[in-house]
Amino acid sequence: MTPLIVLFCSILAGFLLRRRRLTLLPPAVFNIVIWLLLFLLGLSVGSDRNVIDNLSRYGVSALIIGGLATAGSVLAAYLLYKITTRNHHDEG
Amino acid sequence: MKGSLIVISFFIAGIAAGYYGIIPDAEEISGCSIYVLYLLIAIIGFEFGYKNLAATIRGLNSVSLMLPFFTVGGTLLFTIPAWMILRSFPLQDYLAVSSATGYYSLSSVLIMEYKKASAGLGTAAELATIALLSNMIREIISLTCAPFFRRYFGWYAPIASAGVASIDVVLPVIARTCGEKAVPIAIMQGVVLEILVPIMIMSFCSI
């Protein structure tokens, strides 16, 4: 629950301060922190023999999930396209 | 592509370091990472509130704001057959993985931190790895298949397939295949998903 509270409070804080001139953190800081966390994720994967032994299985899972998720979004976009172009023919 | 290469090399370097036991106190170090993650979430939220919330509210009744929700809806719906094929984890875990819609870096570390406490380090690492790989695959599909999607599934399809990457990595491809008119819609989707993705992942992880 806590991270969601952190998220909503920070959105609110940003919104309330939106008219002030602020120097935001450069995107590089964000990236470096993400890379550090990914290194730590790799560390947990590498030190767990069970996870290491199953890496190829995760690849197959990832292919199925990634492929189907993308297909779902594409079909939903097709549906939206059909709905909107039925009403007015200005797009595409 | 450069960004994803950096991400995967940090991940692989971590695997190597863990596998050969280069860093002995791995578990102790990863105990602090939850606070780093709070900081990341706070940065995402603040930047959204500061720069994008007002514009998002102004665009509320437009088609371009409907697209991100169609993108997410299609993704979540098609995760059900994926779950029926794989069945190694409960459905909500697969939904957490797929709801990233291509945000592979953030989703993997979020899932890792969130699942660590409830499901254990091993399971969390498995799910996070699947999240990293599947969302990278999504980005690769979006980069390579955009003209195909445009041709057979309409104008919005290349944007929808890109997910959150429609605002950065895949944007040039979208502009080329769908024209400049698609750029504001692609950016709007990226903005909405950047804030929606962490909310969805955290919700699915806490079910």
Query: Residue written as tokens 């380090």?
Result: B121
Contact assignment for B17 to A1 by CB distance below 8 Å: no
Own/partner pairs for A86-91, CB < 8 Å, 24+ apart? A91/B155
- Sign (positive or negative) of CA dihedral B94, B125, A28, B177: negative
> Closest Cα partner for B100 from B165, B24, B52, B18?
B165
The DSSP 8-state label assigned to residue B120 in this structure reads -
Residue A55, pLDDT score: 87
One domain, residues A18 and A37: yes
Angstrom CA distances, B100 to B23, B135, B146, B190, stand at 30, 7, 19, 12
One domain, residues A44 and A73: no
Residue A1, pLDDT score: 62
One domain, residues A43 and A60: no
Residue A91, pLDDT score: 47
Looking at the complex, report in whole angstroms how far the Cα of residue B172 sits from the nearest Cα belonging to chain A. 18
Give the ipTM of the model, two decimals please.
Answer: 0.90
One domain, residues A15 and A44: yes
Residue B6, pLDDT score: 87
One domain, residues A59 and A36: no
One domain, residues A41 and A7: yes
Contact assignment for B74 to A8 by CB distance below 8 Å: no
Structure confidence at residue A88 as a pLDDT band (50, 70, 90)? low
One domain, residues A44 and A7: yes
Which residues in chain A have Cβ-Cβ distances shorter than 8 Å to B157? 74, 77-78, 81
Top mean-pLDDT range of A17-21, A43-47, B161-165:
B161-165
Residue B200, pLDDT score: 96
- What angle, 0 to 180 degrees and rounded to 10, lies between the N-to-C axes of helices B121-153 and B91-98? 60
Say how many domains are in chain A.
2
One domain, residues A43 and A8: yes
Residue A61, pLDDT score: 96
Share of chain A above pLDDT 90, in %: 39
What's the pTM value of the predicted model, to 2 decimals? 0.88
Q: Which of A70, A80, A88 should we substitute to test contact with B (largest number of B Cβ atoms within 10 Å)?
A: A70
Per-run averaged pLDDT (10 residues), chain B, 207 residues: 81 89 70 79 89 80 86 98 96 97 93 89 92 94 95 96 93 92 90 94 92
Looking at the complex, report in whole angstroms how far the Cα of residue A29 sits from the nearest Cα belonging to chain B. 10
One domain, residues A5 and A36: yes
Residue B61, pLDDT score: 65
Structure confidence at residue A38 as a pLDDT band (50, 70, 90)? confident
One domain, residues A1 and A23: yes
One domain, residues A62 and A44: no
The DSSP 8-state label assigned to residue A89 in this structure reads -
* B59 touches A at CB < 8 Å: no
Domain containing residue A29: 1-48
Q: What share of chain A is helix, strand, coil (3-state, %, to 5)?
A: 80, 0, 20
Looking at the complex, report in whole angstroms how far the Cα of residue A27 sits from the nearest Cα belonging to chain B. 10
One domain, residues A4 and A44: yes
Contact assignment for B17 to A39 by CB distance below 8 Å: yes
Structure confidence at residue A92 as a pLDDT band (50, 70, 90)? very low
